[in-house]
Structures are given as structure tokens and as C-alpha cells.
Amino acid sequence: MSISKSDVEHVARLARIGIEPHEAERYSIDLSNILTLVEQMNKIDTEGVQPMAHPQDIQLRLRDDEVKEVNKRDQFQAIATAVKQGLYLVPKVID
Amino acid sequence: MPHRQSLSALNRMLATGGISSTEIITHFLDRIEQNQQLNAFVSVDREQTLAQAQQADHSRRNEPNSNLKGLPVALKDIFCTQDQLTSCGSRILSNFVSPYDATVVERLDKDGFIVLGKTNMDEFAMGSSNESSYFGPVLNPWNKARVPGGSSGGSAAAVSARLVPAAIGTDTGGSIRQPAAFCGLTGLKPSYGRISRYGMVAYASSLDQAGPITQSAEDAALLLQTMAGFDSRDSTSLDAAVPDYL
């Protein structure tokens, strides 16, 4: 599978990332190479191989449903660019 | 000269009173200033660091048995540090000040280490040459025409040029081991789960591990001893006894 130059330009526009016209060509090659690698890995026979969730033999920890952390919303919001009534404000990106 | 000494040697010198933390910190801060062309550091807070050193010397006078207190280390700029910049080598986070400390930072602080500064790195740790940082490339102190490796290239270059006796990096697919090798140092990626990932900007969560970049295996053991251990705030932290690495 390959990613065309126009695919790159389209995705860049959706993600609001500015790229120069000459860069689109290079990104299309780089991204196509990544997908080619994924295709190669997909060809490997992994039948019967157990998926590894953790290199150590441990179970995912559960915890009691009790409040331990204090609310730090004011502290977190203090570093935001724009907040209003406890909400984070971001630029409008969807027309 | 303090920069000719390993971290462990400096620790022994501090214990015998042969040198003070303020002398060590001042010496290394001066070396950082004199070697800015390496671009190994992203941020250094001279005043705060010196104040910490003076405090360490003061408490050592009252408690002579203060192992590790007042020793300098550098931190890859991927670890969240409260009230200090944590850029992760990116323009996106170039003004980011974390509201909390990473567990690694807490543990270093608890044992008395002083963070000399935050080191340069490949943007979001994605790179192996340290050429992709928003703050510019890091140079290899052995040959400035060559790369120091990455993504913990700033940490490796800083230790290699003896701007700090030891530094902390992170390794996802070689980001401690490879720059350590490129700069002629000891780099250790501990077993996954051994050191908490809490407050470490993630790259690939199931592979990321923090670890030391040092001049010797002894120094790596010293830092691993401080950083290793279970942390409930990291869901894949290993709940197992920490061996005596030293």
C-alpha cells in the first residue's frame, strides 16, 4: 500500500499541519515505506504465539474504588492557554 | 578536579568532607556554561541549584551520615519537573511547566540528589542521532562533527564532556544504550516495570524505561538503587523486592 502526495496534502490539511509542497513528496515516500514494513510484518506466521502484555509474569493490578487523590483542577488549569468556567478553550478547527 | 571523579567517588569525597556540594555544583555549572556549543542542556537554573547545594551542605553538617546528599545529576527533558520547564525537545511543549514531579524526580530528590539541569533530546524521544530537537542538534564531545546518538543524546554528551557526573535518560528502542555507546559511557535500560514511568512523557508505553547514563557500572548501580521500586501510579510497575545493586 502506498500513500500518494495528494493523500499527504489531504491529511495535513485535516490535521492543520502546514507543510511545504516539496515536503509532501518526501513524506509520501516515508509513510509508504512504513506501511510496506507493516505489510512485511503481517506476512509473518504468528499462529500459536501467545501475545505478550508484560515481560514479567504479573497480572494487571486492580485497586479499591476509593478516593485518594485530591482535586487539582485549579492547578492544572493554571497552565492552560485559555479557560472559562472550568473548561479548556481551544481554537475552532471544524468549520 | 571534581569533573575527573565518578559519581561514586564524589559521594565518598562528600562523606569524608573532602569537598562540599556547593563546590561540586559550582564547578559543574561553570563547565556547562563553558561548553554551551555542545547544546547538551535545554534548561539550567543556576540560582535554584546553588541554593539546593548550600542547603545540602548545611544539613550534612548537622547529619554527617547523609549518603548521596548534594550529588548532581542531569535529567533528560522528558521527565516532568514541577515549576520547571519540561519541553521533551519539542516546540509544542517549549513553554510547558508540569504541575507535578515524575516519580523518578521524587525519588532522586528524596535521596538528596540535585538536578543540575534538563538535557536536550530528540523531539518526543523519536530519533537516534539527536538532530531532531527543536532546540537544535547536540554535538558529540569526542568529535563535534559527529552525532552523540539519541534520543538521550543530551544526557550522554553532558556526562561524556563531564558537565555532570551522571545523567538520567529513557530507552524505548535503544535511546539510553546507543548514545551511551556513541559517547563512550555506561548506559543501562533496566527491566521493564522496574522504574516507574509516572511523569515520563510517553513514546511507546509498553517499552519505555528510564535508566542511568554514567561513567561506570558502579555509578549506574547507585542511581538504579535510588530510582527502582514499585509505584502504584504506574499501572505496569513491577511489584517486587528491589535487590541490592551495590
Q: What is the pLDDT of residues A55-75, one digit of tens each?
A: 777 777 888 899 888 888 888
Question: CB within 8 A of B43, min separation 6: which ones?
Answer: B77, B84, B85, B87, B117, B118
Q: Are B219 and B186 in contact (CB under 8 A)?
A: yes
3-state SS track over chain B: CHHHCCHHHHHHHHHHCCCCHHHHHHHHHHHHHHCHHHCCEEECCHHHHHHHHHHHHHHHHHCCCCCCCCCEEEEECCECCECCECCCCCCCCCCCEECCCCHHHHHHHHCCCEEEEEECCCHHHCCCCCCCCCCCCCCECCECCCCCCCCCHHHHHHHHCCCCCCEEEEECCCCCHHHHHHCCCEECCCCCCCECCCCECCCCCCCCEEEEEECCHHHHHHHHHHHECCCCCCCCCCCCCCCCCC
pLDDT given at position A21: 86
Section B222-228 average pLDDT = 98
Catalytic site residue from B20, B66, B69, B76: B76
Q: Are A61 and A45 in contact (CB under 8 A)?
A: no
Among partner residues B99, B192, B193, which is closest to A79 by beta-carbon distance?
Answer: B99
pTM assigned to the model: 0.90
Q: How far is A62 from chain B (nearest CA, A)?
A: 9
Does residue B19 carry a pLDDT above 90? yes
pLDDT given at position B83: 81
pLDDT given at position A51: 85
Does residue B155 carry a pLDDT above 80? yes
Q: Which of A60, A61, A63, A74 is best to mutate for the B interface (most B CBs within 10 A)?
A: A61
d(CA B119, CA B138): 10
Q: Is the sign of the CA dihedral A2, A5, A7, A8 positive or negative?
A: positive
Go through B175-195 and write b for each residue having 16 or more CB atoms within 10 A of its CB, e for each that does not. Answer: bbbbbbebbebbbbbbebbbb
Binning pLDDT at 50, 70 and 90, where does residue A2 land? confident
Among partner residues A55, A61, A76, which is closest to B191 by beta-carbon distance?
Answer: A55
Look at A18-22, B11-15, B142-146, B216-220 and tell me which has the smallest mean pLDDT: A18-22
Binning pLDDT at 50, 70 and 90, where does residue B196 land? very high
pLDDT given at position A91: 87
What is the ipTM for the molecules in this complex? Answer: 0.72
pLDDT given at position A16: 86
Q: What is the pLDDT of residues B62-86, one digit of tens each?
A: 887 789 999 999 999 999 999 889 9
Contacts of B192 in chain A (CB under 8 A): 54-56
Binning pLDDT at 50, 70 and 90, where does residue B36 land? very high
pLDDT given at position A29: 95
Q: What is the pLDDT of residues B98-133, one digit of tens each?
A: 999 999 999 999 999 999 999 999 999 999 999 999
